[in-house]
Amino acid sequence: MERLFTRGRTIMGRLQKGDDLLSSLQRICSGLEIAQGELSAIGAVTCARIGYYDQAERKYAFLHLSRHLEILSLMGNVSLKDGVAFVHAHVVLGDESGRAFGGHLAEGTEVFACEFTVREFLTETPLRRSMDEETGLFLWGEDG
Amino acid sequence: MERLFTRGRTIMGRLQKGDDLLSSLQRICSGLEIAQGELSAIGAVTCARIGYYDQAERKYAFLHLSRHLEILSLMGNVSLKDGVAFVHAHVVLGDESGRAFGGHLAEGTEVFACEFTVREFLTETPLRRSMDEETGLFLWGEDG
Amino acid sequence: MERLFTRGRTIMGRLQKGDDLLSSLQRICSGLEIAQGELSAIGAVTCARIGYYDQAERKYAFLHLSRHLEILSLMGNVSLKDGVAFVHAHVVLGDESGRAFGGHLAEGTEVFACEFTVREFLTETPLRRSMDEETGLFLWGEDG
C-alpha cells in the first residue's frame, strides 16, 4: 500500500547529553502532535539498546551495547499508534575501530549528542498502525 | 554538477511480505511516473542480494545473504534511465548479533516488512542516466 | 532544543571522481549560501577518512581506510559556523565482503562516484554552532 501526503512542518533540533534517544524523539513528535512524518539523525551515544526481530519466533531480541558509539545514521518514521505519535526508527552505530552495528532503536539508548530533523507529512485520514497477523508486527493498514 | 528542483509528491507506504524489495520500489516509482526523487526505508528482509562495485574491474560483484536481517537503512534516488523511473539504492542490514552489512541493493532481496518514503522532485529537463566512461557506471549527465 | 523551518531549495547532483567528498559538499553548500539544511548521499569512494569522537578525551580519533568502499549512507546537516555553511555528516561504508564501517566524515575521503541531495531549510534566525562545554563539541545553541 502507498499513500499520498502533503508537506507539513520541518523541525531541526538537538537532544541533550543524558537524554534517552528514542523517548526524546517520541516526546518531541507527540508534543508537536505530528501524525505522520519522517525523521533522521546523527550524533553519538554513551550506550545503546537495539532490537532484532526474530521473524520465526515473532518477537524482538534486544542487545545492550555498553560502549560509546557514533550514531552513523538514524532513519525512522512517525505515525499514529493507539491515537498518539509513534516513532519507529532504526540506527547504525560505529565504534572506535570504525566497525558498524545496528538494529531497531529501543529505549535505553543514551544520548551524548544528537542532531535530528523531523519532516511532518499531512493527510486527511491518518496513517495508523495495527497488528499484522502475517508478521506479528504493528504495521500500517490498507485503510490508514 | 548540481541541479535545482521543485518539490513534487510525498508518498509513504509499506511493502508486503514476500515482495522483492528493489523491484517493488521500482514498480511503485514507475507506476507513479516519478522522474526524479529520493527514497528511504527501514524494515526487515528474509534474505538479501547486495552488490559491491569493483572499481578496477568496472563490474559489480554480488553477494547473497541467506539470512533474516533488519533493514537498518535504505537510502536511494530515482531518475530516468532509458525513459523510465530507475531506482538506485544502497542498504545497510543488521543481523541478530547487531553486526552491520551492506551494499548496492539488487534484485533478490525479499521483504519481511518494509516502510518507505518517496519524495518526488520536479524539473523541466529531467535528470537522465547515461554511461560515464571514467567509472563505467550509468551516471547523471551535465545536461540532464 | 528544536526549531521550526520553512522549506527552501532542493538540489540533486553528483560529484566527480577524485573529488574530496566532504570538501565538495561543503563547497556546494557554501556556494549556494545554504544556511540550514539536510543532506544525504550514496556512491563509492577510493579511500576514506572517518572520525570517532572520544567522549572521555573530548577529541576525535581519525581512521584512514585505504580501500575501495561503497557509500552505503551519508547523512548530514548544514548550519552556520563562524558565519559560513558548515557540513556535518556521518557515513556508513561497505567493503567487498559486505561488511559495514563508518564514522564522522572527514577530509581525505576521495570520491569514485557520488549522488547527493541537499534540502535547504529557511528561518529568520539562523542555526549557529558554538562550543558546548558539556561535550567539547560545536553544537547548536538555544538561541540559534
Cell of A22: 528514542
Contact C139 A28 (CB under 8 A): no
Provide, as residue numbers in chain B, all residues whose Cβ is less than 8 Å from the Cβ of A65: 98
Contact A73 C92 (CB under 8 A): yes
- Position A81, amino acid: K
For residue C43, pLDDT beyond 50? yes
Provide, as residue numbers in chain B, all residues whose Cβ is less than 8 Å from the Cβ of C75: 75
For the segment B62-114, what is each residue's pLDDT rounded down to a tens digit? 999 999 999 999 999 999 998 889 999 999 999 999 999 999 999 999 999 99
Cell of C106: 572527514
- Tracing cell 565538495 back to the chain, one arrives at C24
pTM over the 0.90 mark: yes
Chain A: partners with 3+ C-beta pairs within 8 Å: B, C
Decide if B80 touches A, using CB distance below 8 A.
no
- Tracing cell 533522521 back to the chain, one arrives at A40
Contact C99 B104 (CB under 8 A): no
- pLDDT for A106 equals 98
The ipTM assigned to this model is 0.96
Give, in order, the Cα–Cα distances in Å from A16 to each of A40, B85, C87, C134, C143. Answer: 16, 41, 20, 10, 15
Distance from CA of B65 to the nearest CA of A (A): 16
For residue A36, pLDDT beyond 50? yes
Provide, as residue numbers in chain B, all residues whose Cβ is less than 8 Å from the Cβ of C72: 73, 75, 90-92, 102-103
Decide if C47 touches B, using CB distance below 8 A.
no
